Amino acid sequence: MHTLKDIEDKGAVGGLLGKQIPPGRRLDSNCKSELEKALRGSIKTASNIANDYKELQDVCLKQKKDLVLVQANANKKISQLNVINTRLRSSELSSHTERKAEREKYSAKIKSLKSLIKTLEKEATLAQKASFSDKITILSLEAKIIELEGKLEDLKVEQEDSLLHTSFFDSDVVEEVTGTPGKQKDLKLPD
């Protein structure tokens, strides 16, 4: 970089200014003033450009840091959702297994009751063929059949209600996902 003093010296003139000002020629005060003004303007412009560049660098760095934070938060949320999804799948599988076992239990109980009903119906038929004195036994067996048929219907209704109200999710996972405690229905079979 050349100063105005360098430009006035004969040997220091070079570059673009050297082509415009022949060596050995002195600058007049107007020309000198214009050059000083242009030089100050150039220095100010260069300084402004450097400041703008620094500000843009700072903005870029801040945005980069913000992006890293957003990405880290997104990765954390994805990880949490994957854990919850795994729990839900596990709960669904467990619930499905429980429902299947429950259906098998109800089916076995229903088959047992149907078999008992058939046995009692056969006994009732045989008792009907017996003497009139066995009429009390017949009425007792018929009452027992009616009672067992009622229990069978109650069991079928309870099975349907249980299957309708059985949750796919255990209460812990429902509480974690929704923020409210899950409700489970106590299932009891009649004695």
In whole angstroms, how large is the CA radius of gyration of the chain?
49
Phi, psi values for residue 140, rounded to 5°: -65, -45
pLDDT confidence of 181, banded at 50, 70, 90? low
The reported pTM is 0.37
User: pLDDT, tens digit, for every residue of 126-146?
Assistant: 877 766 666 777 788 899 999
Question: Can you tell me the mean pLDDT for 170-174?
Answer: 49
* Cα 65–chain centre separation: 25
Query: Which string of DSSP letters, residue by residue, matches 127-184?
Result: HHHS-GGGHHHHHHHHHHHHHHHHHHHHHHHHHHHHHHH--SS-HHHHHHHHSS----
pLDDT reported for residue 14: 46
pLDDT reported for residue 8: 52
Q: Is the pLDDT of residue 47 over 70?
A: yes
Return the minimum-mean-pLDDT range out of 26-35, 43-52, 74-83, 97-106: 26-35
For the chain, the domains span: 4-46, 60-178
Q: Which residues contact 7 (CB under 8 A, 6 or more apart)?
A: 13, 17, 21, 27, 35
**How does the average pLDDT of the chain come out, rounded?**
78
Whole-number Å distance between alpha carbons of 116 and 112: 6
Decide which of 105 and 21 is more confident. 105
Amino acid at position 60, single letter: C
Read off the tokens for 82. Answer: 């994957």
pLDDT confidence of 3, banded at 50, 70, 90? low
Q: Is the pLDDT of residue 7 over 70?
A: no
Give just the sign of the alpha carbon dihedral 150, 151, 155, 158: positive
Decide which of 166 and 151 is more confident. 151
Whole-number Å distance between alpha carbons of 17 and 22: 9
Q: Is the pLDDT of residue 95 over 70?
A: yes
